[in-house]
Each structure stands twice: as C-alpha cells, then as structure tokens.
Structure 1
Amino acid sequence: MISSTVPSDWPHPRSFYSSPNWLRFVDSDGVGRPAYLAEDGAGLVAHHAPDEGHPDYRFEILLDRDDDSARLLLGGRRGFCSPVIGSRRSTSALAELIDAALGAFPEVRGTWWWPYLPSEDVPHVVSAARSLTGETPGIHLVDADCVVQQVPADGPFASKLATSQNRTNWRREWRRFVESGLELRQVSIAEIVACGPPLLQQVELKYGNKHEEENLRATLGRQARILGEEAVAHAIFDGSRMIGYSLGYRSGQEFALRSIGLDYGALRNAAEYAVLLVHGPVRFAQENGIESLHLGTRSYEAKCRRGARVRGLWAVAPGTTTSKEKIEELAGSILAQLPTTDAAAFRSEIDAVLASLLVKGGQA
C-alpha cells in the first residue's frame, strides 16, 4: 500500500502534476522522503521534507505562521496544482490514506498540510481531516491558476473567446507574428536544454528570481531524462537563432505549460509571449485531440483574454484557523487583475467554497 517510489498501479491522475513521471522528476532532486499510497483506484502523495528550500512549499512561509516544524506535505512538492487523485472519492477512503501516511512518518506527530488544492477538492479534504480528529482544519486561499477547458477540436479557437474584441485581438496578434518574419517551430526538449537556459534565466530575473544558468540547465536536463516522452516544446526563431521557447507536457487529455524563456533584447513586438503561451499550445492541442490546457499561475488578465478561466488554489491545514479576512485580501488582489466576467466567476467560486464548508470555530 505504501511505497517510496511511484507504484506501477498509480491511479490515472486528473492533473499532469500528479502523473507518475512528474512525481519521479520531483523526487529526483533528493529533497526529503516521499511516500506513495494507492488502493482501490485512489492515490495519495506524501513528502517529509524538513529541508525544503522552496518558500512556496514551506508551511510557515506560505501561511505566514510562527511554527516552522516540518509537517507532512500531502498532494505533491511541485507544480502548484495538487488535486485529489483517483476515482474513489468517499471521505472515509481518503481519511484512511491520510492516516496511513501519517503512520509512515511518526516524526511529524500527526501534523500535515495539503497546499494547492483546486476549489472543487477542498470540501472533500476538509471532510477527511474532520473525520480523523473531529476538528475542522483551517483553509487558506494561497494562489490561483489558469486553465483553458474544452479546446475546440474543429473550427477556430477564436470562436471560444468571450468577446468580439478578444476574438479580434487573437487574430491580430497571430497575424502580427506571421508578418514579423519570425518562425514558430515545434522542437525537441533536447534543443530547449541546449539553448533555453539563458532565455529562462532572463524571464526568472524579470520576476525577481536569480538562478545560475547552469542550475537551470541541470533542471531542464533532468526533465528531459525523466519526462522526455511527455514533453512538447515550441520555439521562436529569428533565422537560426532561438529567441524564445515554451515547454509543456502532455498527460492524457491535458497539456500543462511548464516554462517560458525569452531573449527580451531580440523581441520584435510581435506577440512573441502570446504565441508561446497560448497560440502554439492551442494549435498542438487541436492537432492532437487534447481537451484542456493548464497555463499555471500569474498573468491572469493576459491568460483570461485568451480563453482561460481562473480557479482558486487552497491549503488545508489542521491545527490552523480559517481567516476570512486573509482569504478576502488575497482574493481581492486577484480579482483586481481580472476582466469583469472572469472576476464575477472567480468571486462566485470563492464564495461557494466558503459556503460549502460551514466552518466552525473560525471567522469564515
């Protein structure tokens, strides 16, 4: 039932970030100790990683807590999307898996948390947590991601966009790219490993993240070794020179965009970012019968205008208290970045999660 590696009977995941090779890639960095639990079509990922270096996966940093003791991390260590895995969705079944995971790591003394849960899974995990101790865990809005659902197999993708202005802009930016003389090609992940690190470094630096080029090359190299079969890469070329790329992975009917790299000094104001972010992946999805795109977090407004919807990502953490004030603070900052229609949908989603929980003892 419990394995230190992804078992061969791992349930079919709803997200690429719960797929076997992604989980193997995450574990290949050697940080912490993983455990995989699978039974009757359900699965659970657990990690004990007291030396976790990524701030977005440290309990005390993400949830702004004084307690920095290592809790058992459920759901996954990377990817910022950790849904419930498998088809068996009863509360007792999930509670049994959580309890078994805690038993495998006695050093955590029964403490755990599950970050980056999509909204639809929050009530299920809360119910499982409550069934174990009789207490309602705290829930915390920690982020939001962007998904494009129901990519049309036939007909232009622009027909899916919500407004005539968005449809016009979609066609214009592709025409602007074509007329620029730049070329979009699908390339191998090996080409991304060879040419992409300095482009990725520029994007990371733009967002305040300093990484050595060789460290980025090593990470991309591990992805190539472990995830090469699922990799789908697009690159923009100016002649023979790569000036931008996007790297994603296919898992079942989902395409998950993982990274974008750009040489900012070589861009021609030809919608290069939009082409790598959406146009290339959409064309690949339509050509290969893929139903949905996962575009990750941030850049909400740009992604919404190109057909994505924003969904909340939450953390469930026993021993903490839900703060409606903090939820509203983060929700408000996200809402301010969304077009009107998308903001209304996101607002309804947040309200629905809070209403479904009937939290006792907290502020929600």
Structure 2
Amino acid sequence: MPRLGWQGEVRRPSLEGGTMIYTLISPLDMHIHFREGAMLRAVAPLSARDFAGGVIMPNLVPPVDNLDRLVRYRAEIDTAIGGMGFTPYMTLFFRAYSEAELRAARPHIIGVKLYPAGVTTNSEAGVQSIRDAEPTLALMEDLGIPLLVHGETGGFVLDREREFLPIYAHLARRFPRLTIVMEHITTREAVALLDDSPNLYATITLHHLQITLDDVAGGLLQPHLFCKPIAKRPEDRAALLQAALTPHPKVMFGSDSAPHPVHAKEAAACAAGVFSAPVALPLLAEIFAQHDALDRLQTFVSDNAQRIYGVTPPFKRVVLRRESWCVPQRYGEVTPYYAGRTIEWRVVRDSGEQGQEGARADANAPN
C-alpha cells in the first residue's frame, strides 16, 4: 500500500535522563468492551487511566438498545471511572429504530453498532437481513449518526470478513452520506477497500497487529488469543501494520479489549475476546518504535479518530517511557494479553495531572 499523507500533529520522542520518552495527548480507544457490574468496575479504570475516551460497545445482556438502558449504563460507567478524565462515547445496539427514538438518542451516542445475528458474543439479537436494516440506516444518514459494524458472515471462519466486504461496499454506495466504520478489520482486502469508498473507515486492534492464526492454534491452543474476528494470515497482518504505521488517514486504534473471567476462557466452549486494556499503549509504543514510527503514534491513537468522528476528548497527557516491565498474570479474574511477558515501554505517572488516575487504576491491579 502506498504511503499516504496525514494531517495529525507530529509528536517526536525525546530523552529524559538518558531514557527515551514519548508523550501522547488525549489518546482514544475507539472500540472497548466494559461489561457490567463487578467486571466493569474492575476493567474500566484500566482504560480510563491510559485513555481520554473510548467507544463503548452495547452487546450486553440485554443489549443497550434504548435510551433508558443507555443512560443507566453510562451512569454505571461514570461511577466506575469518575474523576479519571475519560469520556465514554456510547453506542446503541442496532435494531429497527423510529426517527423519534434516534433523534432523542442522538445527543447521547457516537453511533449505532450493527451486529449480524450470532456472529460474536451476545449478538443473537443482531440483524438478520441487511435489506431489512435499510430504513433505519436511511434515518441514521439523515441524522448524521455513524454506523459501526462487526463485519462478518456466518461462513467459513477465515473467510467471514472477506465475504462481508461486498456488503460494506453496497452500504457505502447506497448511503453515501453515512459514516460507516468497519470495526476491528483483519484482512488486506479490508484495508484496500478503504481507498475505494469515501465514507468507509476502520478500527484496528493491537492484537491483530501482532498475531496470526498460527499464534492462536498453530501449536497448543491459546484460548486467551481467541477472538472474533479470528486472527488471519501473515500477509493480512502485514497490511494492517502498514495501515497503522503510515498511518492511513481512515484508520483508528480500537483495542476491542474484551474481558472474560478465566473460567470462561479456559473452557471447552472458549469465549471470544482478548483483554488488552492494561497493555495497549505500551505495546503500541513498542511496535511503532521498532518500525521507527513512534512520531506517528499520536495520529493513530487520537488525531484520526477526532477528525473522523468530530469529537474533542478531555485533555490528557500520557507519558510513555522506554522502561521494561512484566505484565501480571491476572487482573482480578481476567488474564491479560501478554500475561507474564516483558514489554519494553510503560505508561508512567507523576504526582500531578495523572496522580488520581493512576491511584484509581492501581486499585484494580492484581493482588
């Protein structure tokens, strides 16, 4: 893929006491699963510590598919992360909405998330037919509400995203004023589609920048790397990495951090999801530094998302230092991505702006 221009602010690494540091301004995670109850209280501060905001997924049980449910869920999130300088950008679960419902919800949401029925966790109430969804999509286009999509079919697991790409192309043509975000893309064909459709955008996860299907199932099965969409081939990973490092002006970071308790992951019916929230920024810094692209990380993790969605997150200065640390085996009941492994970068705190945030997140660290 040719190197594309980008409009974000150039933020270059510097040295402090002989150690390389890099400062991000208001990083954003544009795809997070917070869950509810005790799990939310455990994991949400880990994202709020490092990010200024994030797009919260609505596939709960029952789904977040009405304004009352959304307002209650937002209040629960605010209680869990209060005072941490983090904006939860809320989404509704796609269903047939009336114009009145969407108008009432518009001030409270960043978009509506479409799940094809049964393709991922808690998506049984998802869309059965794209054609049946079009009246609601037309309303969203008129009201300027973005559409976020988990783009997979029910076909063979490695082909599910590729099979969905013609649907993306159809929607982009059918609703040219509708902002459509292809969530957590995993294939080189999806990257290429960005250049063919002006109103298509995409999020890319941390783990899809690093792993392939061989890491998941090439030897002993690695349940904590199992996710949907599943990791693909090395050439797909290479295309995603190029898009992120450039960075392509239509891609944003979205972790798809999806916590499950250990008993749900290390089980015969393994739940899909990679819990990457505690390590997202350090590992992204490591990846970008390895490719001599650290000065572009700001654009990938914040600037593009602000421009695409038209949001202004709270100001938050996040300092990354090249300083190795070992990832804990557990955060509460959840095994994180990179558990037990060493990362060469870490987020550092100070006694000022970050102090309260660090203290809140440390309370959720493993015992």
TM-score scaled by length of structure 2? 0.23
Which is richer in strand?
Answer: 1
TM-score scaled by length of structure 1? 0.23
